[in-house]
Amino acid sequence: MGRLLLGVALIVMEVSLPPVRAQTGDAQPETPSGSPDASELSNEQISAPPETPDEVSVSEVVGDSEIGARLRQILTSTEWFRDEDVVVENGVVFLTGATESEKYRTWAGDLASRTEDVVAVVNRIRVAEPPILDLNPAWTELRGIGRIIIRSLPLAIIALAMLALTWMCGGFAQRLADRTILRRIQTKLLREVFRKVLMIPVLLLGLFFVLRITGLTQLAVTVLGGTGRFGLVIGIAFRDIAENFLSSILLSMQNPFQYGDLIEVAGQQGFVQRVNTRGTLLMTTEGNHVQIPNSQIYKGTIVNFTSNPNRRFTFVAGIGYDVPLSEAQDTALQVLTEHPAVLDSPEPQVLVEELGSSSVILRFYAWCDTSAHAWTKVRSSVMRLVLKAFADRNYSMPDDSREIVFPQGVPVHMVSEDLDAGKQQGDESGRVRGVLQRRNGQAPEQVVNRGEGDLSSDAADIRKQAETARDPEQSKTDLLAEPVSASN
């Protein structure tokens, strides 16, 4: 029994007591549960970088005199300050002097504050006010521009050489075109237009290369890209000029007239002297220069009197009712056919046009060669000869009858002298007949007299006037072919 109780007691003690670890040479001392492990602490200390101080002192303490001397040397070396001075007392820096810019004043304060062993900075540097008439900024800009120009001289020389080469290439292209494709174009204006069209792409290509060489690539792209928009703007702004230019091209292609032609357009009549890209220059028969825009000429009605040298002229004359009409027509027709300046084909005609109140109106038609004769002179000669032929045959040519109405009436006094005077005067037709009868005894009428000249064309006289007249534009801008004779 005693042994049993002893065994139970031993078992209870074995269970209730904590286990005892075996201590060896590798045993580690226990650490409190609240403290970190040694391995973890060493890793944190190794990974955390040390803090970098703002300043690293190379000496124990820098004296005030050394700080002031160093700052004074730096300020003097910059040459930005006038009457500069640095005073240091117990690490406090006092800056005095003058400068021309606020940025220099701020820079000096920052420099002093970053100096070693400086506690505080008192910046008493003042900014000097610039004078009213200060040309220094202008001179500074000019010097900067001068430096830029000097640095750009090599590129400018290369660009000029490239432009000269481009111009030479354009001229070569024009000469090559003149010898090949432009030889078939007879109109001078069209040749000039095609030569300019060939020159434009060459110049644009050369300009693009120049801009690329000078480093202005973006500008080159802008120039090439904006050519279409630029042309649109120019076309809108200079619409009239562009219209005249295009009209001049169309006129040169259609060629409605030539140099020296007598034309009538826009209410003006004259001989063609010049056609350029703006307008057409005419010289009227009065010797005046008239410039007409090509757009008006192209859109207007053109009458060319020279393209067909034969021109018909007309005039009228009245004969009395007592004159045989057929005989009068034959007489006038004989005068027309015998005149040397009147053409046989088309043949002349004498037609009754109107039966007037006191006379029969005859109209005369005849043709003449305007390249050899002036139609105005020929008409004058023919009218004079017809009048002479009618006078030789005692044909009466009475005036038109007139009716005068007096609303208030006219008092009439019967005087014998007035009656005698009325009897002596006779009627108007008798007076005209008497005049014509008195002419019967005169010499035969000449075909040409001094007043009419030699019936030659006025084109030669107008051409002489154009040669002696002052050029309205004072420039050689004639775009027509070479001058041709008036007979052409």
The tokens for 402 are: 């007139």
In angstroms, the CA 173 to CA 394 distance is: 78
Strands of the sheet containing 81-89, edge to edge, are 81-89, 92-99, 120-127
pLDDT of residue 330: 92
Query: Is residue 192 located within the same domain as residue 120?
Result: no
In angstroms, the CA 488 to CA 484 distance is: 7
How many separate domains does the chain show? 4
Query: Is residue 329 located within the same domain as residue 380?
Result: yes
pLDDT of residue 417: 53
Query: Is residue 101 located within the same domain as residue 146?
Result: no
Could you say which DSSP state residue 183 is in? G
In angstroms, the CA 252 to CA 485 distance is: 19
The tokens for 481 are: 């072919």
Q: Is 148 inside any structural domain?
A: yes
Question: Is there a contact between 332 and 365 (Cβ–Cβ < 8 Å)?
Answer: no
Structural domain containing residue 227: 136-237
pLDDT of residue 203: 86
pLDDT of residue 163: 87
pLDDT of residue 315: 94
Chosen domain end from 106, 127, 148: 127
Query: Is residue 233 located within the same domain as residue 117?
Result: no
pLDDT of residue 465: 66
Query: Is residue 276 located within the same domain as residue 338?
Result: no
CA distances from 237 to 63, 191, 230, 247, 298 (A): 79, 26, 10, 17, 21
Helices 188-213 & 239-254, crossing angle to 10 degrees?
130
Question: Is there a contact between 331 and 324 (Cβ–Cβ < 8 Å)?
Answer: no
Three-state secondary structure readout of 430-482: HHHHHHHHHHHHCCCCCCCCCCCCCCECCHHHHHHHHHHCCCCCCCCCCCCCC
Q: Is 59 inside any structural domain?
A: no
| Torsion-angle region of 267 (φ positive above 0: left; ψ -120 to 50: alpha; else: beta) | left
Q: Is 57 inside any structural domain?
A: no
Question: Is there a contact between 198 and 177 (Cβ–Cβ < 8 Å)?
Answer: yes
Q: Is 194 inside any structural domain?
A: yes
Please name which of 325, 335, 390, 333 lies closest in space to residue 355, comparing C-alpha atoms: 325
Query: Is residue 164 located within the same domain as residue 177?
Result: yes
Parallel, antiparallel, or unpaired: how do β-strands 279-283 and 268-275 relate? antiparallel
In the three-class reduction of DSSP (H, G, I as helix; E, B as strand; rest coil), residue 149 is classed as helix
In the three-class reduction of DSSP (H, G, I as helix; E, B as strand; rest coil), residue 198 is classed as helix
Give alpha helix (H) positions in 363-402: 375-392
Helices 102-113 & 64-78, crossing angle to 10 degrees?
150
Question: Is there a contact between 248 and 296 (Cβ–Cβ < 8 Å)?
Answer: no
CATH number of the domain at 346, please: 3.30.70.100
How many Cβ atoms sit within 10 Å of the Cβ of residue 222?
12
Chosen domain end from 237, 265, 288: 237
In angstroms, the CA 486 to CA 372 distance is: 9
In angstroms, the CA 209 to CA 200 distance is: 14
In angstroms, the CA 190 to CA 199 distance is: 14
Chosen domain end from 195, 210, 237: 237
Q: Is 487 inside any structural domain?
A: no
pLDDT of residue 51: 54
Query: Is residue 433 located within the same domain as residue 353?
Result: yes
Query: Is residue 216 located within the same domain as residue 275?
Result: no
Question: Is there a contact between 469 and 287 (Cβ–Cβ < 8 Å)?
Answer: yes
Query: Is residue 106 located within the same domain as residue 214?
Result: no
Query: Is residue 166 located within the same domain as residue 194?
Result: yes
Question: Is there a contact between 448 and 381 (Cβ–Cβ < 8 Å)?
Answer: yes
CATH number of the domain at 291, please: 2.30.30.60
pLDDT of residue 342: 92
In the three-class reduction of DSSP (H, G, I as helix; E, B as strand; rest coil), residue 97 is classed as strand
* The Cα angle at residue 202 between residues 198 and 207, in degrees rounded to 5: 145
Q: Is 122 inside any structural domain?
A: yes
Q: How far out from the chain centre does Cα 467 lie?
A: 31
Q: Is 123 inside any structural domain?
A: yes
Q: Is 101 inside any structural domain?
A: yes
Please name which of 426, 429, 430 lies closest in space to residue 399, comparing C-alpha atoms: 429
Query: Is residue 335 located within the same domain as residue 373?
Result: yes
Could you say which DSSP state residue 37 is in? P
Query: Is residue 183 located within the same domain as residue 206?
Result: yes
Segments in the chain below pLDDT 50: 1, 4-6, 8-9, 12-50, 52-53, 56-58, 419, 423-440, 483-488
pLDDT of residue 447: 66
Question: Is there a contact between 323 and 315 (Cβ–Cβ < 8 Å)?
Answer: no
* Residue 62 CB partners (closer than 8 Å, separation 6+): 116, 117
